[in-house]
Structure formats: C-alpha cells, structure tokens
Amino acid sequence: MAVLIIGKSGSGKSTSLRNFKTEEIKLINVSKKPLPFKNKFDDVLNSDDYSEIAREFKKNDKKTIVIDDAGYLITNMFMRGHSSKGAGSAIYSFYNELADRFWKMIEYIKTIPNDIIVYIIMHEESNDFGEIKPKTIGKMLDEKVCLEGMFTIVLRCITEDGHHYFKTKTDGKDVTKTPLDMFENELIDNDLKAVDEVIRQYYELGGI
C-alpha cells in the first residue's frame, strides 16, 4: 500500500518519523540529508538511484518503508540530464522518461504485499488552478497521470501556531484525502507512527 505525504519545506514531513523505533522502518533517504531529530534508524539507504531502490525493496523485511523527499528522484534526474538533451524531440523524450520512471516505481509498490505500507514524502506546489499538489517537473505526471490520483490516502503537512499537523481532509484547495471515517479530525499530530497504526487498524493489516 502506498501513502502520499506532501508539504512545504519545514512543515514537519521528516519530523513525523520521530516516534518509530530504530528497527521498525526501512528509510530510503533520497536527498541524503540528516534527519531533524536524534533518533537513528538501523535500515537506511541514502540513494536517488531507481535501480538501488528497487533492489532495496526486493530484500526488504520491514512492514513500513519511507521514501523521504521522493520528489528529488525526479529533480536530481532532471538536473543531471537536461543540459545534455538539447531541444525538440530529445528533451520531450527526456520529460517522458522522468515521468515514466516515477510512475513505474509507484506501480511497482502496488504489487508488494498489502501489509507493507510505503510512505512517499514529497514537497508541495500550487498548480495553475491554485490547488496544492505534489511538486513535480514537467507536465506529464500532472496532465497524463494525476499523481495524487494513484493514492487512496494523501496527507498534507501544515504548520499552525508553531505546531506541525497532518491535514486529513481537503478544504477544496488541496489534494488531501483519506478514506471515510479513518480519521475523525481534520488536523492530527504529525506523528507518522500513530498514523501507521490507524491505517493498519482500519484495513486490518496487523501491527508492525
């Protein structure tokens, strides 16, 4: 099962991992940056390489996987390759590849056992209609795929009065969504461990 989490930089996305025990999750740290809390995890891959991430999935023995700053899979690939692609059909094909690689990763995640939850954390941006959505590059993922449409659960990290929250219901201005009656409140503490427990209970997946 894949769950999408979006938010601005500093809104508490990575901080939400703080209450997992060191042995409970596999962390794929795409941006390779230090976590914003002292806890460390035993199982960490610092990589933005799709092939390495795929191998990590195949040898995984954890029930919870987090891909932190997953948007940098797209950004880093773009920054490394765009200047050498020229223009015209070559750059168009490059944008197609950016979208294709990310789409295939999410499709692959859908094939793993349901009791494994994969949290895909991304930055957010506003589209042309003023809607808050996951930040991508190019229009392929937005226009042809609708990235958030590939997820049943989309949580948004926000900050109010200095406190970090997960937003569970949309106000019509973002792509936040959760199943009926999964969460009672529109704003909950940004504790991904607690969210993980709620999702497992709701879908009867069992605990970590």
Q: For residue 44, what are the contacts with CB-CB under 8 A and spacing of at least 6?
A: 26, 27, 28, 29
Most confident of 52-66, 76-90, 91-105: 52-66
**Mean pLDDT within 139-144:** 77
What Cα–Cα distance (Å) separates residue 24 from each residue in 21, 72, 130, 161, 183? 5, 24, 38, 31, 23
Domain map (residue ranges) of the chain? 2-202
Q: What is the pLDDT of residue 18?
A: 96
**Mean pLDDT within 173-183:** 96
**Mean pLDDT within 104-111:** 95
**Mean pLDDT within 3-25:** 96
CATH topology of domain 2-202: Rossmann fold (3.40.50)
**Mean pLDDT within 98-118:** 94
Q: What is the pLDDT of residue 83?
A: 65
What does the pLDDT look like over 149-173, one tens digit per residue?
A: 999 999 999 999 989 999 999 999 9
Q: Which tokens sit at 117?
A: 């939850």
Across the chain, mean pLDDT equals 92
**Mean pLDDT within 27-48:** 93
Would you say the pTM of this structure is higher than 0.85? yes
